[in-house]
């Protein structure tokens, strides 16, 4: 039994943090499902930018649809939904077998809407409706401006992957938005079972403090932050508030580990996967990390529900001068800015390809 199957059997969902048409056409994604226990996937503007920019696979569809599309953004979502609906169909048996707990794919709304709750909600509803797949999450950033849109989307019955979370406090704010949406559905007499995950970014913490802390703390901050968030997650699942909602038919919003590829070339390439093994969570991995873990990974002890030694490690970072609250806010802000840049790069790429194809025709 390979390590990915062992991790799956522990109770953690392994999702691929990638989507390309080549992955679909070659049968590689189906092979990952069958051989590496992959049960879902996530995407973002950077992933689609690389997919479109570095492949000619999309050119025929761009040529066919660019004249009718009102904008490069509209054309992009047509391309993305074509890929993601195919992926969703591959995961549909898992979605059905787990009664909607697993088997999800994710598509992000335009990050340009981040400060506009109503437009974000409208885009989320339109994209989910256009896909026509129940196992499609719409990704909405868990920024202060995004929280009202998350609550509104859940109330509207749109499944949400809350992205860009970096700390326990940011996670709890996102969880509260989700629960408020569910509570409003119950009060309105609606089905409260709307799927959601909350995505906590891990490795970016260690990149942010690299070279600024003692060597013994190298590559330990992201894991400690995850331990702190996991304790809060377990406490929330055990809370009277959630149990009342669960009794009415609500789902748990699962905690998802994002950004789990190792950035430090001196560290193990499976560092975060091994450290973050935990039942009833998701780990979405870059393709290289997934293959590395399947090849030579090992599953260690599961995360302790009480956070283990996370607080002690965080105390050592505080002694080293790291203000994790301020850093969490900075990382979220930088992440949102990065998403906008990736989005603009993606739209520019599609515009460029469309113009080149029109010129050649």
Structure tokens at 11: 């109770």
Cβ distance 153 to 140 under 8 Å?
yes
CA 216 to chain centre: 30
Which residues are CB-neighbours of 180 under 8 A, at least 6 positions away? 151, 154
Radius of gyration of the chain (CA): 20
Q: How far apart are CA 216 and CA 79, in angstroms?
A: 46
Tokens 């051989």 appear where?
35
Q: Which residues pair with 124 in a beta bridge?
A: none
| Residue reference for tokens 């393709």 | 287
| Partners of 136 in beta bridges | 105
Q: Tell me how crowded residue 355 is: count the other CB atoms within 10 A of its CB.
A: 11
Closest CA to 12 of 3, 23, 20, 24: 3
Enumerate helices (H) and strands (E) in the chain, giving the number of each.
Answer: 16, 8
181 contacts 155 by C-beta, under 8 angstroms:
yes
**3-state SS assignment for residue 249:** coil
Q: Which positions are catalytic? A: 139
């Amino acid at each position: 039994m390979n390590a990915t199957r062992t991790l799956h059997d522990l109770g953690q969902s392994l999702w691929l943090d990638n989507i390309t048409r080549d992955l679909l056409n070659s049968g590689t994604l189906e092979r990952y499902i069958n051989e590496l226990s992959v049960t879902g996937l996530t995407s973002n503007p950077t992933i689609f930018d690389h997919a479109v920019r570095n492949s000619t696979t999309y050119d025929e569809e761009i040529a066919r649809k660019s004249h009718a599309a009102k904008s490069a953004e509209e054309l992009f979502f047509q391309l993305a939904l074509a890929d993601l609906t195919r992926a969703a169909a591959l995961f549909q048996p898992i979605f059905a077998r787990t009664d909607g707990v697993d088997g999800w794919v994710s598509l992000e709304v335009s990050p340009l809407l981040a400060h506009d709750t109503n437009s974000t909600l409208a885009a989320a509803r339109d994209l989910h409706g256009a896909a026509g797949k129940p196992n499609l999450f719409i990704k909405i950033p868990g920024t202060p401006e995004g929280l009202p849109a998350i609550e509104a989307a859940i109330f509207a019955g749109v499944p949400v992957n809350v992205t860009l979370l970096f700390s326990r406090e940011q996670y709890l704010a996102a969880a509260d938005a989700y629960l408020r949406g569910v509570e409003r559905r119950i009060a309105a007499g609606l089905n409260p079972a709307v799927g959601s995950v909350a995505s906590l970014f891990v490795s970016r913490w260690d990149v942010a403090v690299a070279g600024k802390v003692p060597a013994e703390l190298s590559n330990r901050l992201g894991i400690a932050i995850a331990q702190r968030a996991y304790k809060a997650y377990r406490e929330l699942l055990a809370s009277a508030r959630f149990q009342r909602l669960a009794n009415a038919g609500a789902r748990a919003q699962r905690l998802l580990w994002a950004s789990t590829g190792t950035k430090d070339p001196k560290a193990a390439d499976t560092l975060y996967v091994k450290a973050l093994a935990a039942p009833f969570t998701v780990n979405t991995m870059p393709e290289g990390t997934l293959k590395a873990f399947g090849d030579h990974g090992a599953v260690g002890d599961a995360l302790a529900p009480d956070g283990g030694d996370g607080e002690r490690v965080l105390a050592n970072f505080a002694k080293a001068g790291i203000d994790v609250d301020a850093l969490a806010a900075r990382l979220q802000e930088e992440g949102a800015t990065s998403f906008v840049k990736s989005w603009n790069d993606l739209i520019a790429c599609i515009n460029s390809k469309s113009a080149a194809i029109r010129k050649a025709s």
